[in-house]
Every structure is written in C-alpha cells, then in structure tokens.
Amino acid sequence: MNINKNDVFTVRIEDMGSEGEGIGKSEGFTWFIKDAIIGDVVEAKAMKLKKNYGYARLLQVLEPSIHRIEPKCEFHRQCGGCQIQALDYSQQLLFKQNKVSNNLKRIGGFENPNVLPVIGMENPFYYRNKAQFPIRQDKDGSIITGFYAGRSHTVIANTKCYLGIDANETILKKIIRIMEENHISAYNEETGTGLVRHVLIRAGFTTGEIMVCLILNGDKFPCEDKLVENLREVEGMTSISINVNKKNTNVILGDKVRTLWGQDYITDYIGAIKYQISPLSFYQVNPIQTKKLYETALDYAGLSGNETVWDLYCGIGTISLFLAQRAKKVMGVEIVPQAIEDAKNNARINGITNAEFYVGKAEEVLPRKYKEDGEYAEVIVVDPPRKGCDETLLDTIVQMGPKRVVYVSCDSATLARDLRYLCDRGYETVKVQPVDMFGQTVGVESVVLLSRTEGTPRADYN
C-alpha cells in the first residue's frame, strides 16, 4: 500500500464496526473512518497507520450511500453523543441486530444464534428523560452550555439536543439569562473556581412532571427566588433543587440536595408500576423502550404465579416489581444501598408485598442464600453492568439449576462470553431479543431466554 500519513485517498465503505465507524478496504489494507457509513464512497485523509490497517478522517462524501440521511443535529460529528445519526433508522436497527449476532458468533462461538429483529422506537428522537448539561464560560466570558466534544471536556455551545425533551432548551435559556443578568459565575474545571457546574433536568414521560436541579460548587445560588419564579413558569415543573458538589472531580452530583420549590421528587410510570425519582436516584433514561424491554423479560420468565424469582443487579427494583405482579415471590439483589432504599420505597408505594431486597454483591449474596438458607429459584433474571456477570455467580446459577434464566444485557460482548459459560454447563440459548433504547447511538440492549437442558429442575411448578 502506498498511502502515507496525511495522504488523501478515496475508498468505498463496505461495513461498519461496533462503534459505528465505517470500514473500507483498498489494496488489502483496512481503513476505519468515523462518520462514514456503509455504502458511501468517501474521500478521507490518512491519520494513523498500522501494519495492515489504519484510521482516516472523513473529508467528504463523494457518493452517498442509499442509507445516508441528512442528520438533524448540526453538531453530530463533533459531539460525542450520537455516532450514527447519518444512517437511516431502519439500517440503524439492522446494524444493531448484526452487532449482537456477530458478538454471539465471534465471542460466544454460537454458530447460528437466534437473534430476533431489534424492537425499535416509534420516534428515535426526543426519547431521553434525563439530561445533564455542563455550564461553562467561553473565551469571551459568556455563559454557555452544551455538550462535550467526543473524548474531551471541551464544551460545544448548544442548547438543542434532539435526543432530549423540548423543555430542556427553554429551561437552559432561562438559567443562562438569570446567570448573565446577575453576574453569576460558571464553574471552571481547570481552576476549580466558579459556581454553577451542571444543570440536571429529568422528566416523567407519563405524568408530564419536570425536575430541575442545579449542581453548584457552593451552598447557595445568589438569587434563588428569581430562579424559582422563572422556572415555575415551565409547564409541568414539579421540583426545583440545588445539589452541592465542591469536589474537583468528573463525578457530576454531590450527595447533598436541597429542594428550593415543589416536591423532592417527580413521579413516572413504567406499565402499571409507579416510581418516585429524586435527583440522585437511578432511573432508566428511555422509559418507553424500557417498558418493552421489561415486558419481554417478563414474557421470557414464563411466570404462572407460583414461582420464586431472583432478580440480580436489580437497581431500584424496576424489573423485580414487574416480575412481582406475576410471581409468588421476588428477591432482588443490588450493590448500591441507596438504590435498594428506592426499590423498597417503590414496592411500598405500589402496594407490592411479595418482593424482598438485599444489599450486596450478587456473586456473594446468591451463593450465601443458596448454601446457608437453601434458597432456590424457578427463574433467575440478571441485568449486570457492562462487564457482565462474575463467574462465581454463574456457577451458583448452574448449581441452583433454575428452569429458565433471563439475561438482560447492555453489552453484547460480555453477554456472549457469559452465555457460552452457561451453555457449556447445562443451558441453551433459546432466543435473543435486542431492544433499541438509544437511537442514533451504537448502544443496544438485549433480553435472552436460556432454558435448562440437563437434569430436572429442583422445583418445577409448570
């Protein structure tokens, strides 16, 4: 190959990598080109060369792919948020189905995995119920907010993100105006000075309730009354609060919250279950798709009302409470104590009495409950973070031998690894249902049904 660094060349994009980058080949050399999509012919500049592959920067699209569309957001290339906005939505769903399928083949060694078509969104924009906007000062001293440029902490000024709700823009403009009129400073990450760090906005999609929380590098906002007076005008405003974070860290929220006006929380529903969400609590960011994801998990659990079910990595108990509607008993396990408090509270406000929650590591609590208390399960649900399940946990699942395991995953690579482990020890993967929770991005969630193939399940009511 006779292309050197900084050379400009032309290539046809034949595939897309798991991070959404376009992949093209010329003279046996493979190019990875961000923002190029399958089917494009592009002009690109060589940036980094390795032995038989390299990275190049997209200069222009010479022949657009039939799947290329005009992105809504003018910042889609700089912003780190959306990687595949230029790909039409039906192709985004195909891309995600292939990503899951390829990982199951390549990492899991499954020859022909039964990966179903992705359950997509009706509207793949405006779906996020939560946004955290950094507040900064630009070179001219003006207050700006926007998004971090990919892999950096440089803020691109932009109050309009097409993944979030319309009210975000109204709220941000009001806050910026109040800050400018009253000479209130924005936080500076390098010096650790300045007051306003972030604005957190959350919305309950089924209730229309909105929460605003200002994260401050200090205890007080200088004109809190004016802030409340202005923000109250926004339709649906239910909770206005201050969160204090004086630490020089990347972590957005501190642990103290003071409500300035309204309630301490907003309420939202997923299906029939009600959740109270405070600034600090975890809650799924796309509640519409979450409902589809959890309905699939509930369907795969195949409950008749007599079962004992374990929900591992249960967070605030979202899946547990869904399952509790159809099981005899649900036991949730989660490592974060505050999330378990929320789970218990959510059970209480929904009148659910057959769910119990334990704080601890799933890989410690489940083995202990099994060995010491003889606990069992007809169905076990797991929803681990990206790194997947610990082997100790998978071993305990195999020993307990539930009839079905439902694996909810946000990372199909670790999913593939864990499915292989379980399938070498008496389970089979029946089906894999990806669900799109994050349109325009390369993220994909999956729900997998595993069924026991060896021996008789310990307790079988069905």
Contact present, 209 and 203 (Cβ < 8 Å) = yes
Q: Single out the catalytic residue among 161, 223, 410, 423.
A: 410
Q: Centre a 10 Å sphere on the Cβ of residue 60 and count the other Cβ atoms it contains.
A: 9
Residue with tokens 């080109």: 33
CB 342 within 8 A of CB 318: no
Please name the residue that has the structure tokens 């809650």: 283
Token pair of 10, please?
């032309």
Going through 225-272 in order, the beta strands assigned E by DSSP cover: 237-244, 256-262, 266-270
- Per-residue binding string, ligand SAH, 11-30, x by CB under 6 A, is --------------------
The reply to whether 447 sits near ligand SAH by the rule CB under 6 A is no
The residue type at 272 = A
Site map 268..297 versus ligand SAH, x via CB under 6 A: --------------x-x-------------
375 vs 366: CA distance, rounded Å: 9
H/E segment holding residue 321: helix 318-324
> Residue 434: which H helix or E strand, with range?
strand 427-435
**Which residues, other chains included, contact 290 with Cβ-Cβ below 8 Å and sequence gap of 6+?**
270, 284, 318, 437
Told to check if 362 binds ligand SAH by CB under 6 A, we report yes
Residue showing the smallest CB distance to ligand SAH in the complex: 315
Active-site annotation holds for 161: no
- Interface residue with ligand SAH among 11, 184, 316, 347 (CB under 6 A) is 316
Decide whether 363 or 436 has the Cβ nearer to ligand SAH. 363
Least distance in Å: CB of 339 to ligand SAH?
5
411 binds ligand SAH (CB under 6 A): no
Is residue 315 near ligand SAH by the rule CB under 6 A? yes
Using the contact rule CB under 6 A, the part of the chain among 177-185, 228-236, 331-339, 420-428 near ligand SAH is 331-339
**Bridge partner list, 146:** 157
- Backbone torsions φ then ψ of 152, nearest 5 degrees: -150, 180
Report the nearest approach of ligand SAH to the CB of residue 189 (Å): 26
Interface residue with ligand SAH, options 45, 174, 344, 361 (CB under 6 A): 361
Using the minimum distance from each CB to ligand SAH, give the nearer residue, 230 or 392: 392
Q: Is 145 in the site for ligand SAH (CB under 6 A)?
A: no
Helix (H, G, I), strand (E, B) or coil at 44: strand
Q: How far is the CB of 424 from ligand SAH (least distance, A)?
A: 22
* DSSP assigned state of 202: E
Q: State which of residues 35, 307, 378, 383 lies at the interface with ligand SAH (CB under 6 A).
A: 383
- Whether 276 and 264 have beta carbons less than 8 Å apart is answered as no
CB of 393 to ligand SAH, least distance (A): 8
319 binds ligand SAH (CB under 6 A): yes
Question: Looking at the annotation, which residues are catalytic?
Answer: 410
Which residues bind to ligand SAH, rule: CB under 6 A?
282, 284, 313-316, 318-319, 333-336, 339, 361-363, 383-385
